Chains A and B, each alone.
Chain A
């Protein structure tokens, strides 16, 4: 700062030698000014973040203690919604369906993506073309993906049954009660495998080259190289992928709505599907909708926090 210099202003000249008190005050003013500037930059985004994310998350807690409807008005019932949740038609079922869906879809997504990435990362010619096609299904909105899969799973002219018929096998009712959730999981594999494949490709390309040269010199076969080198090196990346894909899997809704409409029966009715039904299908279940949403939010927050903690502690250890 220009302390002790002369400043010309309005014809008078004044020494700027400051007493410690003035100095402190000026420093505080400068600091406040810097803080204000910073808030002007952060402010707009922070406002949106608080109003449309923090407030709704807290709001969910409040709504989950209410009974009644958004329009018709509510009254507080404490924790009754949570106590009644297990017996409520569809709530437990929706949670079960969502978890089963995640269990069915995530392992094939990640294993498939890893397999594709291992090959794609070490390919010379045509990599760009492969990447384009592998990634393309990722950009299909869930609703449209659901429509497309109607054409694969249709009993009369669906692609799956055409192939079966071509092979001389019996056609299958793909969207029947036993298999609908599995088909929904398969759709998710189709739609998401490319996302994680491209993600893993970047990770694999970033692995230290020297280790592989050393492994080559030792004559390590590809299988061992994968098992003892690539996999351990990708540990954190894989953990991240498992957590994030689980969080995404728990949100499944649009494909279920379009492909199976939650059925047959309630076999593909997922958590967000139920929330939507509670809010718009009946006018007195808004508390239950919030309560079951809160279950989902808590699950997602737990996963997020676990990941933040584990990734941080490992960073120190490595």
Chain B
């Protein structure tokens, strides 16, 4: 790519300047095309694996091995999906995932926004200490806490219950920081007006703070739901009963038990992605903000 940029203010006739302009415009358009070409290649590389698996999911066991591969699944073979939905617990796993992730999200949005309000606006001895402690432990994953968590949950008599899946993820402090940040941005006058009108602190939280941070609540919900949807280590350890398996655990079990069934695996991979793809399509902006939540921690 050319890196010569016309210097402005260079001496020359008006015509020369106009020609220069035209050239630089052409160059810019060319660079624009280059950018699109680059992004199209990147997108293609990232998306190709999905296409290949979707393709495989519509092939029967001999078609999968055929070379050269068919690039369109015509006629589509639906046996893999029938097997997945009929012979495995897939729908149950999906229900468990949506139920657990939904419950965790609901509780988290509630308790995180309350805690965020306390840390942002209320008088609290040791506020700074609590904040720093949460910040330090923010990155410690459940996967590194398997032993004590398992011991704890069995001591509470919660093994093989939904509560065992729901409670430990509630400890993650990320949402508190996110909510604190959002609430810190609200002007004090609003709460004080509420106070003058005789609202209790809870009234202020519910009637003034919550409505104002609604966009933040949606982002938080998306973050938590996605993390739960993808979580694996803890559900793997916390549950041994088939009825409580979540999607990720069930799909991993499909892989490790029984022989290689590529058709079934591909159907499972495709079906697992349906809910999250739908959510992403609907809430694209909030999902992308998930990537930015990390920046708040600075």
Report chain B residues within 8 Å CB of A37.
122, 201
Report chain B residues within 8 Å CB of A152.
49, 52
Report chain B residues within 8 Å CB of A223.
3
B148–A290 touching, CB < 8 Å: yes
Report chain B residues within 8 Å CB of A60.
144-145, 147-148
Report chain B residues within 8 Å CB of A136.
46-47, 50, 277, 280
Q: Quick check: which of B78-86, B186-194, B211-219, B228-236 contacts chain A, the rest being far away?
A: B228-236
A49–B49 touching, CB < 8 Å: no
CB distance from A91 to the nearest CB of B (A): 15
B8–A217 touching, CB < 8 Å: yes
Q: Please measure, in the bound complex, the distance between the C-alpha atom of A142 and the C-alpha atom of B251, giving whole angstroms.
A: 11
B146–A142 touching, CB < 8 Å: no
Q: Please measure, in the bound complex, the distance between the C-alpha atom of A130 and the C-alpha atom of B110, giving whole angstroms.
A: 34
Q: Please measure, in the bound complex, the distance between the C-alpha atom of A42 and the C-alpha atom of B127, giving whole angstroms.
A: 10
A41 with B201, Cβ < 8 A, contacts A35-B124, A52-B170, A148-B53 known: yes
B291–A199 touching, CB < 8 Å: yes
Report chain A residues within 8 Å CB of B147.
59-60, 63, 70, 275, 279, 286, 289-290, 293
A147–B265 touching, CB < 8 Å: yes
B35–A123 touching, CB < 8 Å: yes
A275–B143 touching, CB < 8 Å: yes
CB < 8 Å neighbour of B149 from A44, A52, A193, A286 = A52
- The answer, yes or no, to whether A82 is at the interface (CB within 8 Å) is no
A151–B148 touching, CB < 8 Å: no
Q: Please measure, in the bound complex, the distance between the C-alpha atom of A137 and the C-alpha atom of B67, giving whole angstroms.
A: 27
- The answer, yes or no, to whether B38 is at the interface (CB within 8 Å) is yes
- The answer, yes or no, to whether A88 is at the interface (CB within 8 Å) is no
Count B interface residues, CB 8 Å. 105
- The answer, yes or no, to whether A296 is at the interface (CB within 8 Å) is yes
**Cβ < 8 Å to B, chain A residues 117-163:** 119-120, 122-124, 126, 128, 130-144, 146-152, 154, 156-157, 159, 162
Report chain B residues within 8 Å CB of A193.
46
- The answer, yes or no, to whether B208 is at the interface (CB within 8 Å) is no
Q: Quick check: which of A11-19, A102-110, A253-261 contacts chain B, the rest being far away?
A: A253-261
Report chain B residues within 8 Å CB of A251.
141, 143-144
Interface string of B127-167 (1 = CB under 8 A from A): 00010011111111101111111111010000000000001
CB distance from B90 to the nearest CB of A (A): 12
Q: A128-B284, A199-B295, A301-B136 known; 8 other A-B pairs, CB under 8 Å?
A: A42-B124, A70-B150, A139-B230, A147-B269, A190-B46, A221-B5, A240-B298, A300-B139
User: Can you list 18 pairs linking A and B with CB atoms under 8 Å apart?
Assistant: A35-B123, A38-B124, A39-B118, A44-B110, A59-B152, A70-B151, A116-B42, A133-B43, A135-B291, A139-B277, A139-B280, A148-B53, A165-B67, A190-B46, A198-B291, A198-B292, A222-B3, A300-B140
